């Protein structure tokens, strides 16, 4: 991804790749903290360390290259410039030649309120993301998405599917830089996008497969949607499996727009839902605005009886700064 950005002038953070521990540490020392350390392979959404001190950065390098905490995914590390700003998720559907933008969303990666604690696979999201103005969405399409689609085609490797761009809207320039690509709907952003999409998803995906996206327009419900992830106590570290979750049906009746997505559940011999994963439920709601979506989502969360789980209480806090302490 980084070499593609270099070749096709796609804005991204400055970086270097290492397999040698001492060379990585020397580069980190030259660059200074804060700095970002990434495992080169797939690491279940946990292979990124945002190191605020040199010691944290050295420790992250050791854990990947020496201790092998991510296995083969961490045998090469990328040391990257720390970008200050606001993260946003941008999705596009691609048919190999054309790309159409989906609605914007913003994920919350840190495990704790106020974006504190370790990174996770995502603790909640909302759509649309006010940080991605119409003007910025155009810039993302022109400077990041379309050059990527054209670049992939030029490399003889046309991309067809969902292109998910993790962006940082840089504080100093106000412009978007590409942090990462995924080739799927993001989780938990997918949940808020799907409850807002009014077009037939199957028809749209078929059009992408057939190279016919230039004829497609998408319809979205107005207003906002929010998903609050309920996770097992201890996540993203060690957590117990098998705790019973009750009141899910009652929670879905809080409002017609409430939908609970199951990510890590099973049923036990008594027919109870039990938790089997780290991130377990995606409690999602729509509203006329973000505040209404937030209130409905948290009402549903509070109706669920699951002592073995926890959730962030401030999803949407960047877009609703005055309301971040409102959820009990």
Contact assessment for residue 248 and residue 263, using Cβ atoms and an 8 Å cutoff: no
Can you give the pLDDT at residue 45? Answer: 66
- HEC sequence for 81-142: ECCCEEEEEEEEEEECCCEEECCCEEECCEEECCCEEEECCCCEEEECCCCCCHHHHHHHHH
Domains of the chain plus CATH, in order, are 1-81 (3.30.1490.20), 85-210 (3.30.470.20), 224-311 (3.90.600.10)
- DSSP-based three-state secondary structure for 204: helix
62: left (phi over 0), alpha (psi -120 to 50) or beta: alpha
In tens digits, the chain (328 residues) has pLDDT values of: 889 999 999 999 999 999 999 999 999 999 999 999 999 877 766 788 999 999 999 999 999 999 888 887 778 899 999 999 988 889 999 999 999 999 989 899 899 999 899 889 899 999 999 889 999 999 999 999 999 999 999 999 999 999 999 999 999 899 999 998 999 998 999 999 999 999 999 999 999 999 999 989 999 999 999 999 999 999 999 999 999 999 999 999 999 999 999 999 999 999 999 999 999 999 999 999 999 999 999 999 999 999 999 999 999 988 886 444 444 3
pLDDT at 323: 46
- SS3 at position 164: strand
296 neighbors 138 (Cβ within 8 angstroms): no
Backbone angles phi, psi at 267, to 5 degrees: -115, 145
């Amino acid at each position: 991804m980084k070499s593609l950005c270099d070749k096709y002038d796609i804005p991204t953070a400055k970086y270097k790749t290492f397999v040698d521990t001492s060379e990585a540490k020397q580069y980190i020392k030259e660059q200074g903290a804060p700095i970002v350390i990434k495992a080169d392979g797939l690491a279940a959404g946990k292979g990124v360390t945002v190191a605020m001190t040199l010691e944290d950065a050295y420790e992250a390098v050791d854990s990947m290259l020496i201790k092998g905490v991510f296995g083969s995914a961490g045998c090469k590390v990328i040391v990257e410039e720390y970008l200050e700003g606001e993260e946003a998720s941008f999705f596009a559907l691609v048919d190999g030649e054309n790309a159409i933008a989906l609605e914007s969303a913003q994920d919350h990666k840190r495990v704790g309120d106020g974006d504190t604690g370790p990174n996770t696979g995502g603790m909640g999201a909302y759509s649309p993301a006010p940080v991605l103005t119409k003007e910025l969405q155009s810039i993302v399409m022109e400077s990041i998405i379309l050059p990527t689609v054209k670049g992939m085609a030029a490399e003889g490797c046309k991309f067809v599917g969902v292109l998910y761009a993790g962006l940082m809207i840089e504080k100093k320039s106000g412009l978007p830089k590409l942090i990462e690509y995924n080739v799927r709907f993001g989780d938990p952003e997918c949940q808020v996008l799907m409850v807002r999409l009014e077009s037939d998803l199957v028809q749209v995906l078929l059009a992408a497969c057939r190279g016919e996206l230039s004829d497609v327009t998408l319809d979205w419900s107005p207003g906002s949607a929010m998903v609050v992830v309920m996770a097992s106590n201890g996540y993203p570290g060690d957590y117990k499996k098998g705790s019973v979750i009750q009141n899910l049906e009652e929670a879905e009746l809080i409002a017609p727009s409430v939908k609970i997505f199951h990510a890590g559940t099973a049923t036990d011999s008594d027919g109870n839902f039990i938790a089997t994963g780290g991130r377990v439920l995606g409690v999602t709601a729509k509203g006329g605005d973000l505040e209404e979506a937030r209130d409905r989502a948290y009402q549903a969360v509070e109706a669920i009886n699951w002592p073995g789980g926890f959730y962030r209480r401030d999803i949407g806090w960047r877009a609703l700064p005055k309301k971040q302490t409102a959820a009990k």
